Amino acid sequence: MAKNGNDAEIDEGLYSRQLYVLGHDAMKRMQSSNVLISGLRGLGVEIAKNVILGGVKSVTLHDQGVAEWKDLSSQFYLREEDLGKNRAEVSQPRLAELNSYVPVTAFTGTLTNEYLTKFQVVVLTNSSLDEQICIGDFCHSNGIKLIVADTRGLFGQLFCDFGEEMTVFDTNGEQPLSAMISMITKVKTQLDWAKLYHVMVSFKPCPYTFSICDTSSFSDYVRGGIVTQVKMPKKIAFVSQLHMGFQALHAFEKKHSRLPKPWSQSDADELVALAEEANAAQTGSAKQEQLDQTIIKKLSCMAAGDLAPINAFIGGLAAQEVMKACTGKFMPIMQWLYFDAVECLPEAGDAVLTEEECAPRNCRYDGQIAVFGSKLQELLAKQRYFLVGAGAIGCELLKNFAMMGLASGEGEVIVTDMDTIEKSNLNRQFLFRPWDVTKMKSETAAAAVKLMNPSVRITGHQNRVGSDTEKVYDDEFFESLDGVTNALDNVDARMYMDRRCVYYRKPLLESGTLGTKGNVQVVIPFLTESYSSSQDPPEKSIPICTLKNFPNAIEHTLQWARDEFEGLFKQPVENALQDPKFVERTLKLPGSLVTDYPHSWEDCVAWARNHWQCQYNNNIRQLLHNFPPDQVRPLTTSGAPFWSGPKRCPHPLEFSTNNDLHMDYIMAAANLLAQSYGLPGSTERSALTKLLQDIKVPEFIPKSGVKIHVSDQELQSANASIELKAQLPSTEAASQFKLCPIDFEKDDDTNFHMDFIVAASNLRAENYDIPPADRHKSKLIAGKIIPAIATTTAAVVGLVCLEMLKIIQGHTKLESYKNGFMNLALPFFAFSEPIAAPKHKIDWTLWDRFEVKGIQSNGEEMTLRQFLDYFKVILDAHFLILFWGCTRTCSHAWWFEKRIIFHIIYIITIPLAFWVKIIS
């Protein structure tokens, strides 16, 4: 692919997961946008990283300042040897490595009006209020989209000005709704299928009705029809005047040529006075009746702070706004966003931070010490954390860990991931480079993070977490941990790690993304519920009869094609390899399809041609023989004809070598069959056409008496099926050929897997007059791909690390912790307290249990008598708790009944414990 800015194809191998978020049109618009990012401290480099990964035309890095100690708290592309050097120039080569399609340059001069005209989007960070207003006015009047981003300690803000008239092509990024029409009533509505209609939804007489316009002159509705939502562009307007939210802070900095000192009470009082003065000068809605002096003082106390998690969160949001400005995809922020995480500070009653405690030390953590003090930094250095997964979320977590100084002393971060790096990972897993493809993720990520902060201790493993690795991640391992962070991509592994954390009573930080959507959940022992305490409802499955005979959506034909792939090229070969005698017996059963195994490429082509005929002609003709298109009976329960509602009447296809889709199917199916038998294939289209002309296809005559099931209930109670059975390799074939079952792999464009899926699905869609899907959409649905984008990942991980700071400080109040939910497309952000650990009748939670320490304080093993005495004390204490809790709510009879039960349990444990002692 040519460099961005040329009329070239998009590199789907690199951008595949992002394409499912933005789409091709938005990606092409982004590839024509030049972006300027001013300010290369922690926030600026975070925005630049995400924008470069996204794939704009070019990025220019602007900074006139030099690297300082406090920059190293969050600027992950600065190193200690870079102190005193220009931040933009040092960062440029390291940022340029992220994406070879995006030219990255550094600029250290003054931002003049003439220079700004080169860009479609300008981002300002670490800028003065005067600069923001001046550049903002120029950009607004010249059609340049402006984003101002700022972070101060635990505070952050965003401002967007995208001009007086911006077109948003897609406000939410959701797939357009589509539904089948089951009935059209004759009211005054004139219906033109080619026109767009504004829909009026009504919940009467049922929630599935809507009205459009006059249909009274139309004939009676018979069947068919699909209604599809059309997303209409929306025009929005912005104003150029910047909000004065941080005006007092800018005034302080202008007056003193510095920011307020960390936790200086005199500076905080002065900032409050400046804020009151600024507010008094406001008019209208901008003027506040009363300012929150407490929050202003906290802003003053940590204004000099620079935190990696806050920069990650605000940087992810800001980069997404850049993409919105470039593409018109998703709704921009209108126009201000304010965020703080002051609940990360020590809880009330804990040690009060002082100016001395938070003063700079001329070390790489000065930006963090300015907010939390040096004692937290010492705690961070001692932490031992287990990170499960080194993908997109894992890479972002490791970067933040390094900047925060997690495990930079006696502690350790253990990261495990069994996967290797693929090209598609490079678009969002920013620790990896093209030359890292095929390497192990965990080892590569650990090495990359060590360059960011050499003092961080990180160990990479290549293990899958599960029962198979419990000898590695055993009692000793988990008991040595301070916490666990998940960076997983499947629910089963998440639930397994959740169970382990509950068992060992370790805090768990859970997060996930889906395109522009993200969530964070914090699990704290004895305080919150666990990850597994609540689960999403299972995905709705497609009824089997819908897949087999009555599809009405492209999702149905794609699932059918996936089932075809498995049933033709994987399962039969696996069966033959596992038990050749089973296959031989199966082939001898009456009614089984016995076919000769292929000996050559020509045989594979003949099989593919005959299979095409069966699936797209013969089977459809048989179905129409059983249920003719004009059949009035049997009527459904609603009295409608058989082929109505969700049942679309199909039609058979006639094969033609002049039809590209037909030829795509034959080419893919024949090559896949050849692969499964270890035969050579071919990609010669002209030769394939010639072979097909000589193949004789048996004539098909529909049969009477063939049973076709119209519901899953019928299908479950019967064994018959008209489906063409998969070709099973015989025992002779198993011994003669190198049989190889084919595992579906969606990301290899040369293996014919997606070629088969796309052709098989679209041919069946043509049978049923369903709109086809292109390769891109087919891969998304059939491959069950999770859309992903770097911006969401960065923002989510920022929130995760804020919760980690609370855990490490030992926060004990439920209200201190926050579960987070976001959708950057809308944009939408919501935070809530975690759900408290549910309590049972005796005030026990999932975290409570009986514990027996087998090794005493003197190092001796507990004897059987000591164990029984200990267990008796525990039971008696349990009885007291039970009695206290139950006498208030239950009858005495209930209490005596429970006491008898527990005494029985106690008596039973005596021989049981004795037996356990003997066998041990």
Q: State how far the Cα of 526 lies from the Cα of 503, in Å rounded to an integer.
A: 12
Q: Is 890 a catalytic residue?
A: no
Phi, psi of 509 (to 5 degrees): -110, 115
CA distance 664 to 181: 32
Beta bridge partners of 647: none
The Cα 383–Cα 481 span in angstroms is 8
Angstrom distance (rounded) from CA 841 to CA 889: 10
Placement of tokens 């690795």 in the chain:
469
Label residue 231 exposed, middle or buried (CB < 10 Å: 0-12, 13-18, 19+): middle
Question: For residues 30 and 58, is the Cβ–Cβ distance under 8 A?
Answer: no
CA dist 385 and 607 (Å) reads 56
> Which position among 134, 213, 363, 545 bears the catalytic label?
545
Q: How far apart are CA 920 and CA 909, in angstroms?
A: 16
260 close to 273: Cβ distance less than 8 angstroms = no
Q: Which two tokens stand for residue 340?
A: 């703080």
H helix intervals, 361-490: 366-372, 374-382, 392-404, 441-452, 475-479
The order of strands in the sheet holding 155-161 is 104-107, 58-62, 34-38, 121-125, 145-152, 155-161, 336-340
H helix count then E strand count, the chain: 31, 23
User: How is residue 595 written in tokens?
Assistant: 């076919």
Backbone angles phi, psi at 414, to 5 degrees: -105, 120
Q: Under 8 Å CB-to-CB from 850, ≥6 apart: which residues? A: 871, 874
Q: 732 to each of 282, 581, 583, 597, how far by Cα in Å?
A: 90, 11, 11, 9
CB-based contact 345:294 (threshold 8 Å): no
C-alpha triplet 712, 716, 722: angle, nearest 5°:
80
DSSP state of 351: P
Which residue numbers are catalytic? 545
